[in-house]
C-alpha cells in the first residue's frame, strides 16, 4: 500500500468512527429528551422496555468501536513509517468504552430522577 492509499484508508476510518459517534450521541440525546418529556407518565413496564432498548443499543456501540479500533491499530502496525504523530497511539479503545459506559450511567441517573420527580423542581422542591 502506498502512502496516499494509507492516508485515504485512515481518513475513511476516521470518518466512519465520527459517524458512529454522531449516531451514538444523537440516539442518546433523543432518549434523554423523550424521557424528560414523557418519562414521568410512562408506566414501569414501558420505562423498562424503553430503557432496555437504549441499554442494548448503547452497549453495542462499545464492541463495534473496539473492533474498529483493532482494525485501525493493525493498519498502523503494518505501515508504521506513515504514522507521523503520536496521537494515533493514545488509548482510543478505552476512551470509546468509557464514553459508552458514562452515557449509560448518566441516562440511568436521569431516568431515576425523572421517576422520582426531582427534575424540574427548584431547590426548595417547588
Mind listing the pLDDT tens digit for each residue in 43-81? 888 888 988 898 888 888 878 888 888 888 788 778 777
Inter-residue contact 65 to 93 (CB < 8 Å):
yes
C-alpha cell at 60: 453495542
Q: How many domains does the chain have?
A: 1
Q: How far is CA 26 from CA 58, 82, 99, 103, 124, in A?
A: 11, 34, 14, 12, 33
Structural domain span for residue 41: 3-116
Tell me, yes or no, whether 122 lies in a domain: no
Tell me, yes or no, whether 125 lies in a domain: no
Share of the chain above pLDDT 70, in %: 92
The pLDDT of residue 86 is above 80: no
Tell me, yes or no, whether 124 lies in a domain: no
What pTM was estimated for this model as a whole?
A: 0.72
Tell me, yes or no, whether 121 lies in a domain: no
Tell me, yes or no, whether 126 lies in a domain: no
Amino acid at each position: 500500500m502506498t502512502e496516499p492509499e494509507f492516508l485515504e484508508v485512515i481518513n475513511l476510518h476516521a470518518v466512519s468512527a465520527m459517524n458512529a459517534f454522531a449516531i451514538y450521541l444523537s440516539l442518546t440525546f433523543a432518549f434523554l429528551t423523550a424521557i424528560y418529556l414523557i418519562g414521568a407518565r410512562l408506566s414501569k413496564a414501558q420505562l423498562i422496555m424503553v430503557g432496555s432498548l437504549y441499554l442494548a443499543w448503547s452497549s453495542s456501540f462499545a464492541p463495534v468501536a473496539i473492533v474498529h479500533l483493532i482494525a485501525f491499530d493493525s493498519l498502523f502496525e503494518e505501515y508504521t513509517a506513515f504514522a507521523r504523530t503520536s496521537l494515533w497511539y493514545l488509548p482510543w479503545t478505552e476512551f470509546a468504552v468509557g464514553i459508552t459506559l458514562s452515557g449509560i450511567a448518566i441516562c440511568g441517573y436521569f431516568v431515576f430522577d425523572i421517576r422520582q420527580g426531582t427534575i424540574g423542581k427548584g431547590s426548595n422542591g417547588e
